[in-house]
């Protein structure tokens, strides 16, 4: 199964942190010159589809210094 998406240009890495401590992630890469967007994609085990914990699993975006600059909890609506 793949997680994929886009982020603002200051996001250099995207990580999915699960409630059990496991993490999956990838570096972002430029979408197209001048767009200000970066793309990301990473694989996760298929069984994860049935194990996402709403409100506990978190998708996070990191900047070049390794600081979390964006996050979204699953099931939180944003």
Q: What is the distance, to the nearest Å, from the Cα of residue 69 to the centroid of all Cα atoms in its chain?
A: 11
- Please say if the pLDDT value at position 78 is more than 60: no
Residue 15: beta bridge partners? 25, 60
Q: What's the confidence (pLDDT) of residue 20?
A: 86
CA–CA separation, 70 vs 57, rounded Å? 14
pLDDT tens-digit series, residues 38-69: 999 999 888 776 666 667 889 999 999 999 99
Residue found under tokens 């995207």:
14
Q: What's the confidence (pLDDT) of residue 15?
A: 97
pLDDT band at 76 (very low <50, low <70, confident <90, very high): low
User: What are 55's two structure tokens?
Assistant: 């409100």
Residues 51, 43 contacting (CB under 8 angstroms): no
């Amino acid at each position: 199964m793949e997680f994929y998406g886009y982020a603002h240009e200051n996001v250099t890495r995207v990580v999915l942190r699960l409630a059990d401590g496991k993490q999956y992630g990838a570096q972002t890469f430029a979408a197209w010159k001048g767009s200000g967007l970066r793309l990301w994609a990473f694989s996760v085990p298929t069984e994860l589809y049935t194990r996402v914990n709403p409100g506990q699993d978190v998708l996070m975006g990191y900047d070049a210094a390794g600081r979390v600059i964006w996050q979204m909890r699953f099931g939180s609506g944003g």
